[in-house]
Structure 1
Amino acid sequence: MNKRTDIEVIINNKRYTLRGYESEEYLQKVATYINNKYAEFKKQDFYRSLDTEMKNVLMNINVADDYFKLKKQQEQVESESDKKSEEIFDLKHEIILLQTKLESAQNELAATKSEYLEEQKKVIRLETELNESRKNR
């Protein structure tokens, strides 16, 4: 198990100690995300007029909104990935079928070439016999 990490961060101009089993970099990234959310809200005129409880509720709603949007995006990516995997499987299957057909066609071509050569030999033999029989007459 990872060891517990304690890190002091400043969120919304207040000092907090975050504790967790994640890295310091990760915990700092979380604090930075929250600070960026506060900065976004502070730019809005309406935010200043809200009481502390409403500000906290608004923050929670926005973080939850980000979470659900990212979760939906991840599900879409996973769905697309599954579809791509299925397409790849189907294409590999099609390649194998086409390779089998190609091998079969190559074997058939080789057999036909062999038959053609045998037939050419017969033609040459028959022409030779015909020429010899004409000479012998």
Structure 2
Amino acid sequence: MSPKKDIQVLIGGKVYTLCGEESEEYMQKVALYINNKMSELQEAESAKKLNTHMAGILLALNVADDLFKAKEELNLLTTEVSKNLDEKEDYVAILENELLNEKAKLENAEAAINKLKEEKSLLEQQVVKYKKELDEYIETFGD
């Protein structure tokens, strides 16, 4: 746990001291965000007539609106990422199935090759046998 830090920030033309465990950079970023929101509010004609309390409420509503929109966007992105992940998992499952099928075909082809090699060997043995018999026949009976 980080020790608490005190930092000076400028919001709405006034200096405030913030105390927190977050980095100074983070707290400055938050203060700048609030300062920009206040500036937006002060630029609106309808907000110029508001008292300080009402301006604070309106500022809080604007910040809450940003928060809810960011959460909604995060939910949409999370759903989209989840959907894409599901689609990719489905695609991987299809590819894995195809790979298994191709491996089975390869094993079948290898088995067929081995069988043909055995048949070739047997045929070669028969050729040698028949050649030997032919040679013996020629020796015995001549041309």
Fold match, TM over 0.5?
A: yes
Instruction: Output the CA distance in 1 between the equivalents of 2:120 and 2:39.
Output: 89
Partner of 1:48: 48
| Worse overlay, 47-56 or 77-86 | 77-86
Partner of 1:61: 61
| Worse overlay, 58-67 or 97-106 | 97-106
Q: Secondary structure at the match of 2:3?
A: coil
Partner of 1:24: 24
CA RMSD for the aligned pairs?
Answer: 2.6
Instruction: Output the CA distance in 1 between the equivalents of 2:56 and 2:110.
Output: 79
TM-score, normalised via structure 2 length: 0.78
Unaligned segments of structure 2, at least 5 residues: 139-143
Instruction: Output the CA distance in 2 between the equivalents of 1:9 and 1:37.
Output: 15
Partner of 2:141: none
Partner of 2:33: 33
Give the CA deviation at 1:109: 1.5
Partner of 2:87: 87
Percentage of matched positions with identical amino acids: 33
Partner of 2:102: 102
Q: Which runs of structure 2 are paired with 1:115-134 in the superposition (5 Å)?
A: 115-118=115-118
Q: Which has the larger radius of gyration?
A: 2
Give the CA deviation at 1:14: 1.0
Partner of 1:114: 114
- Cα shift readout 1:32-71 (whole Å, capped 9, x = no counterpart): 0011111212222212122222211110100000001101
Partner of 1:8: 8
TM-score, normalised via structure 1 length: 0.81
Unaligned segments of structure 1, at least 5 residues: none
Q: How many residues are paired up?
A: 136
Give the CA deviation at 1:124: 7.3
Write the letter of the residue equivalent to 1:13.
G
Write the letter of the residue equivalent to 1:33.
Y
- Cα shift readout 1:52-109 (whole Å, capped 9, x = no counterpart): 2221111010000000110111112222222222223222222222111111001111
Write the letter of the residue equivalent to 1:58.
L
Q: Secondary structure at the match of 2:50?
A: coil
